[in-house]
Amino acid sequence: MKILVTGGAGFIGSHITDRLLSEGHEVVVVDNFSTGHVANVSDKATLVELDICNQGIVEIFEDLVPDVVIHCAAQASVYSSVNNPQLDARINILGGINVCKASNKVGCKQFIYITTGGALYGDPEYLPCDEDHPIRPISGYGLSKWTLENYLNLLLPNSIHLDVLRLANVYGPRQDPIGEAGVIAKFIHSMLRGKLVTIFGDGDQTRDFIYVSDVARICSMLLEKPDPVVINVGTGVPTSVNRLFQIVSSAIGYKERPRYESLRDGEVRHIYLDSSRAKKGFDWVAETSLDQGLIQTINSMRQLI
Ligand SMILES: NC(=O)c1ccc[n+]([C@@H]2O[C@H](COP(=O)([O-])OP(=O)(O)OC[C@H]3O[C@@H](n4cnc5c(N)ncnc54)[C@H](O)[C@@H]3O)[C@@H](O)[C@H]2O)c1
């Protein structure tokens, strides 16, 4: 199949791309390299440098005629969305609508939307959050991702099969520790360089950390499945940021104590996801334990020093 991955030069999109290439698919990556890197994209993929907000995306789709679109490109930082909601809304909503309209124009068969579970459900009424949990995002990021999900439901015709993957906190090799990346990449990056590590808040907040290969695996499992789905993709296991600090410190041999700073806006206190729908529908469960995933991530980040 010919699969177009927006944001395929980024962290998650590049792992999805690699997985699809390894399964024999033809992959086209569309990315503007705002946070992604050419080095993340396999030589076997076709690379198109383009901003998804650019109307010219329709012509690219008309040239390439993908069977499937996997939409990963986004402004993916909660913190940045709090400070610059306009940019967040422009990329995540307007850019996403462009991708949707281009997909309509060429009549692709399937649209897989990569979105967030962690920033969607707001302060949970119950845990773990399943897909039916009320949606009350507390950041511009969560709101923009939810808004596009609604637009996709509205604008995509029935002939395009829409699947929605709501991801927990993803970590793994290639996550960029500079800027507003995930806490794991930041911890490892600082610890390997012997620098001070900052924890925002008291560190007792919990997150559901899912390894990136497990995300890429479920994405490929969705291809050509008969029914559209909305599914959470997480481990269902809460880990506090303090506990994470301990595990990463001891794996690296880091001896310093963290520095605590005030909590940042837009972050919920506790979140972890119920992924039993993915288990039931696809026999998918997260296969990589946090310990295994951290070792692989540390090893890959060590090579970059
Ligand atoms: N990292 C996580 O923990 C996590 C959790 C839940 C959902 N997600 C979602 O997964 C997707 C990928 O996130 P990521 O963590 O890999 O982030 P990332 O920043 O590494 O990847 C985003 C990619 O999109 C590209 N991009 C951004 N704006 C663009 C634009 N206007 N036009 C073209 N390309 C553009 C970037 O250059 C980058 O390559 C996002 O949709 C994000 O919302 C991420």
Tell whether 248 is covered by a domain. Answer: no
- The answer to whether the CB of 73 is under 6 A from ligand 1 is yes
pTM for the whole structure: 0.98
CA 106 from chain centre, in angstroms, equals 26
**Distance from the CA of 257 to the center of ligand 1, in angstroms?**
31
116 lines ligand 1 (CB under 6 A): yes
Residue 79 domain-assigned (yes or no) = yes
**Residue 210 near ligand 1, beta carbon < 6 Å:** no
Could you give the CA distance from residue 114 to residue 185 in angstroms, rounded to a whole number?
Answer: 20
Helix (H) or strand (E) holding 206: strand 206-207
Q: Which two tokens stand for residue 215?
A: 């995300």
Per the DSSP assignment, residues forming a β-bridge with 164 are: 113, 230
User: Does residue 76's CB lie within 6 angstroms of at least one atom of ligand 1?
Assistant: yes
What is the side-by-side order of every strand in the sheet holding 230-233?
46-49, 26-31, 2-6, 68-71, 110-116, 161-167, 230-233
Residue having the nearest C-alpha atom to atom 7 of ligand 1:
116
Q: Report yes or no on 245 lying in a domain.
A: no
For residue 93, the CA-to-ligand 1 centroid distance in Å is 13
Pairwise CA distance, residues 12 & 78, whole Å: 16
Find the CATH number of the domain harbouring 19. Answer: 3.40.50.720
**4, 5, 6, 11, best to mutate for ligand 1 pocket (most atoms within 8 Å of CB):** 11
Distance 73 CA to ligand 1 centre (A): 5
- Asked if the structure places residue 144 within a domain, the reply is yes
Residue 26 domain-assigned (yes or no): yes
Give the pLDDT score at 224.
81
Answer whether residue 82 is part of any domain: yes
The reply to whether 267 falls in a domain is no
Distance in Å, CA 28 to ligand 1 centroid: 16
Is any atom of ligand 1 closer than 6 Å to the C-beta of 36?
yes
Atom 18 of ligand 1: nearest residue by CA position: 10
3-state secondary structure of 246: helix
Could you list the pLDDT tens digit for every one of the 305 residues in the chain?
999 999 999 999 999 999 999 999 999 999 999 999 999 999 999 999 999 999 999 999 999 999 999 999 999 999 999 999 999 999 999 999 999 999 999 989 999 999 999 999 999 999 999 999 999 999 999 999 999 999 999 999 999 999 999 999 999 999 999 866 699 999 999 999 999 999 999 999 999 999 999 999 999 999 989 899 999 999 999 999 999 999 999 999 999 999 999 998 889 999 999 999 999 999 999 999 999 999 999 999 999 87
Choose among 151, 148, 117: nearest CA to 135.
Answer: 117
Mutate to test the pocket of ligand 1, among 14, 32, 176 (most ligand atoms within 8 A of CB): 32
Give the SS3 label for residue 38. helix
How many domains does the chain contain in total?
A: 1
Where in the sequence is the domain holding 113, given as residue range(s)? 2-168+211-236+273-290
32 lines ligand 1 (CB under 6 A): yes
Does ligand 1 lie within 6 Å of residue 74's CB atom?
Answer: yes
In the prediction, which pLDDT does 241 show? 98
- Give yes or no for residue 187 CB within 6 A of ligand 1: no
CA of 36, closest atom in ligand 1 = 39
Q: Cα(167) to centroid of ligand 1, in Å?
A: 12
How would you class 45 by CB atoms within 10 Å of its CB: exposed for 0-12, middle for 13-18, buried for 19 or more?
buried
Instruction: Give the residue numbers marked as catalytic.
Output: 141
Please indicate, yes or no, if residue 266 is contained in any of the structural domains. no
